[in-house]
Amino acid sequence: MALYSEKVMDHFMHPRNVGVIDDASGVGEVGNAKCGDIMKIYLKIENDIIEDVKFETFGCGSAIASSSMATEMIMGKSIHEAMELTNKAVAEALDGLPAHKMHCSVLAEEAIKNALKDYFDKNNIPYDADKFQELDHDELHNAVHGE
């Protein structure tokens, strides 16, 4: 079986929504200290709806495919729906990622959450801080590799 699904390859080779939104409502940037990859998400929000989303990812193919898929999944959705997006859902939408690449999809979830948090902060919108606790990369790594 191929290591990467056709969907992963497609989103890696032809990533959707790459770029920058100059007047973004919220921007989120995250990095993975272990691999050094960085992901930045820009959101344009109007009336609680994500009208536009773009990303820049300096990272591996799985991180690029995850960002591309994640942006497609939240485009046109409400900010509440975007808050619920999990890295697992992104990986599933890509027809799976190899176990040792699951952490790449975590960047997408975190970058979107950080961009939403930026939007909430800028607009003095109250939110539940618990929802923004950083996912623990080490814990995830150990869970995947059984260490």
- Spatial separation of the C-alpha atoms in residues 66 and 101, rounded to whole Å: 10
Among positions 107-126, residues that touch ligand FES (CB under 6 A) are: 107
Stretch that binds ligand FES, among 43-51, 58-66, 89-97, 122-130 (CB under 6 A): 58-66
**Residue 41 sits in the site that holds ligand FES (CB under 6 A):** no
Please return the burial class of 57, using the count of CB atoms within 10 Å of its CB with bins 0-12, 13-18 and 19+: buried
Residues 6 or more apart whose CB falls under 8 angstroms from that of 119 comprise: 25, 26, 43, 45, 79, 125
Distance CA 56, CA 54 (A): 7
Applying CB under 6 A, among 8, 11, 37, 109 the residue interacting with ligand FES is 37
Q: Does 8 bind ligand FES (CB under 6 A)?
A: no
* Nearest residue to 25 via CA among 79, 84, 83, 86: 79
- Are residues 13 and 35 in contact, defined by beta-carbon separation less than 8 angstroms? no
- Applying CB under 6 A, among 9, 18, 49, 60 the residue interacting with ligand FES is 60
Nearer to ligand FES, 49 or 140 (CB): 140
Assess 15 for contact with ligand FES (CB under 6 A): no
Beta carbon nearer to ligand FES, 27 or 107: 107
List interacting residues with ligand FES (CB under 6 A).
32, 35, 37, 59-60, 62-63, 104, 107
